[in-house]
Structures are given as structure tokens and as C-alpha cells.
Amino acid sequence: MGMSSLKLLKFVLFFFNLIFWFCGCCILGLGIYLLIHSKFGVLFHNLPSLTLGNVLVIVGSVIMVVAFLGCMGSIKENKCLLMSFFVLLLIILLAEVTLAILLFVYEQKLKEYVAEGLTESIQRYNSDNSTKAAWDSIQSFLQCCGVNGTSDWTSGPPASCPKGSAVKVLGMSFALTLNCQIDKTSQVLGL
């Protein structure tokens, strides 16, 4: 490789890692903001540290460290920093692949565990204000009610549950009709 190609590679690696470093700063900042100002309580009481704020702080910190190593290693042409950058990226890649495989293998158990944890937190709705606030916020934002529907709420659904599902049924009907129409059009055109 010529010297100009190496300089180009050096600056491309630097600028991409600089962008990732800024993204990591933003993710970290959002995580800290959520930790300080979040109305969301703990929905999984058997995993109290599993909150969106904590996850974002960890992810943002890791991105910042890795991107910093890439930035400094490329601009200073430091072999130690570049090799550390490479090793950390390799570890992250292996962890992602391992996590994807585990999620695929244990998908059903994970669904059951999450549903059980959320159903358990529904039972704490009236006794824990942070859980109540979390459920109210989530149900209002996602326009859903409970884990499996209104039947999850033994004393009746709270006010944060949407009143009806007519809009969803209409949306589903329109989507299915459009999908069938696209199939018919494709068959007519021979696509």
C-alpha cells in the first residue's frame, strides 16, 4: 500500500471512530438523564438494576472507550492502542454472536421469564408507586394494556389502559387488505 492510501485509511478510521465516540457520549448522556429524571420504576423486581438508564450508561461507556482507542490509535499510529481497539471489537463481536445464539436457543424460556416478571410486577401496581408510574407510562406510550391484555388486571384495568382496540383492528384490516391487493397486482403483472 502506498503512503497516500495509508494516510487515507488513518483519517477514515479516525473520523469514523470520532463519530462513534460522539454517539457514545450521547448514549451515555441519555442514560444518565434517564437515571436522574426517569419516572419509570423497576418492572422486574428480581432484577432491580435492569433499567433502561443503566443499560444505556453501560453501552455508551463501552462505545466511548472503544471509539477512543480507535481514534487515538489511528491518529497517533500507536500499535498498542490499535491492537487494543481490534481486540475489544473482536470481543464485542463474539459477545454479540453468542448473545444472538443464546436468544435464539432460549427464546421461549426468555418469553416466559419476561411475561412472568411483568405479570408479577402487575401485582405490585397498587402497592408500589414507582411500578404504578412505570406501567402507566408504558401503557400510555405503547397503547397497550398489561402483558396479555385487560385480563391481567384482577381488579380491572387502570385508567392508563387504552379504552378500545377499534383503531388497531382497523389498522390490521387495512394492512391485510393492502397485502392481499399487492399479491393480486403482482400476479396480474407477472412479478
Domain ranges of the chain: 2-186
Looking at residue 150, the DSSP 8-state letter turns out to be: G
Which residue type occupies 149? G
**DSSP secondary structure letters along 18-52:** HHHHHHHHHHHHHHHHHHHH-----S-TTSTT--H
pLDDT in tens, 124-142: 888 878 788 888 888 887 7
Angle, helices 3-37/52-76, rounded to nearest 10 degrees: 160
pLDDT tens for the 191 residues of the chain, in order? 677 888 888 899 999 999 999 999 999 999 999 888 876 656 677 777 777 888 999 999 999 999 999 999 999 989 999 999 999 999 999 999 999 999 899 988 988 888 888 888 888 888 878 788 888 888 887 778 888 888 888 888 888 888 766 445 556 666 777 776 776 666 666 65
Residue 67 pLDDT:
95
CA of 183: how far to CAs of 180, 188, 190, in Å? 5, 9, 10
Could you tell me the pTM of the whole model?
A: 0.69
Report the CATH superfamily, name and number, of domain 2-186.
Tetraspanin (1.10.1450.10)
CB 173 within 8 A of CB 144: no
Spatial neighbors of 34 by CB under 8 A, at least 6 apart, are 40, 51, 52, 53, 56
